[in-house]
Amino acid sequence: MDATRKRAVALALLVVFMILPAHALAADGGRTRSGQPDSISGFINADSLIKIGVGMLATLLFIVSALAYWRERRGKFLTIMLAFMFFMVKGLVGLIDYFFPAESPLLIPFSDAIDFIILFLFAVAVLKE
């Protein structure tokens, strides 16, 4: 594939990953956890859309970085791939929390610990030669 076609495919995948979460949230009847209508057109609130979109983008970036590592076999790419993997896990946990809300005292410390791991891995990747 030439570079233009690769960019077009990547853009199409990004658009699909941004539209699918909106469709999935619209299927929940347009209600929040408290039973009140969501704020954007009665179907979805902006916070949920952004949270799910970030998770989907993290998944896409994990796949791209895994392919880059597979092709080049460099330690820097492995570190970046691991950072995006943890970012994807954080998005998955947020998605599960949205659809199956639970009052867990471990959710916030878990999220903060994953943020620390992500930042640490990106710092290692940037500082690594």
Domain boundaries, the chain: 3-127
φ/ψ (deg, to 5) at 37: -65, 145
Is pLDDT above 70 for 120?
A: yes
Rg (CA), the chain: 17
Q: How confident is the model at residue 126 (pLDDT cuts 50, 70, 90)?
A: very high
Q: Are 111 and 78 in contact (CB under 8 A)?
A: no
Mapped onto helix, strand or coil, the DSSP state of residue 127 is helix
The residue behind tokens 């949230």 is 25
Exposed/middle/buried for residue 114 (C-beta within 10 Å: 0-12, 13-18, 19+): middle
Average confidence (pLDDT) over 89-113: 81
State how far the Cα of 96 lies from the Cα of 77, in Å rounded to an integer.
Answer: 28
pLDDT at 79: 95
Average confidence (pLDDT) over 98-106: 76
Is pLDDT above 70 for 116?
A: yes
Is pLDDT above 50 for 30?
A: no
